[in-house]
Amino acid sequence: MQKILLLTLLLSSLLFSDKGYEVYKKNCMVCHAEMMSAEYALSHIDTLVAPPMVEVSARLKDNIKTTDDEKDVNRYLFILFVKDYIINPNLDNSMCNTGAIEKFGVMPSLKGKISDEERQAVAEWLYERYENIKFH
């Protein structure tokens, strides 16, 4: 049964990864750069309008964890959070550091602008795209 669940998760992530990148380009790229180093981000902070996605993914992965460190559970919780935050962003749930919140504020809601399927795809992409990539 576990093998079937893992295979299903793997196949769904492969299907959503390309779609997720398309959703990112259509809805997120205007504010969030896909990739940059922390050094570059700090030296160009005045030109950024939102944290780069590599930093967003890293901060979420650092903050959304179960106590038993099960990767599939952590991935699931990460995706649930992102899907909700995209349409219900608020300061209470933000995981940005204080400086980022002061600089960028809270992102605007995409409610009514993005479908459930698109939210799922971009959340999966955000998790998978930056797997084993550090923001430094």
Alpha carbon distance 39, 42 (integer Å)? 5
Tens-place pLDDT, residues 115-127: 999 999 999 999 9
Residue 69 — φ and ψ, nearest 5°? 55, 35
Instruction: Return the pLDDT at 5.
Output: 45
Instruction: Return the pLDDT at 65.
Output: 86
The separation between CA 8 and the C-alpha centre of its own chain, rounded to angstroms, equals: 21
User: Which architecture characterizes domain 2-129 according to CATH?
Assistant: Orthogonal Bundle (1.10)
Show the tokens assigned to 34. 């896909």
Alpha carbon distance 35, 111 (integer Å)? 25
Tens-place pLDDT, residues 12-53: 445 446 999 999 999 999 999 999 999 999 999 999 999 999
The domain spans of the chain are 2-129
pLDDT for residue 105 is more than 70 = yes
Tens-place pLDDT, residues 49-86: 999 999 999 999 999 988 876 778 999 999 999 999 99
Q: How many CB atoms lie within 10 A of CB 130?
A: 20
Instruction: Return the pLDDT at 8.
Output: 46
The pTM of the full predicted model, rounded to 2 decimals, is 0.84
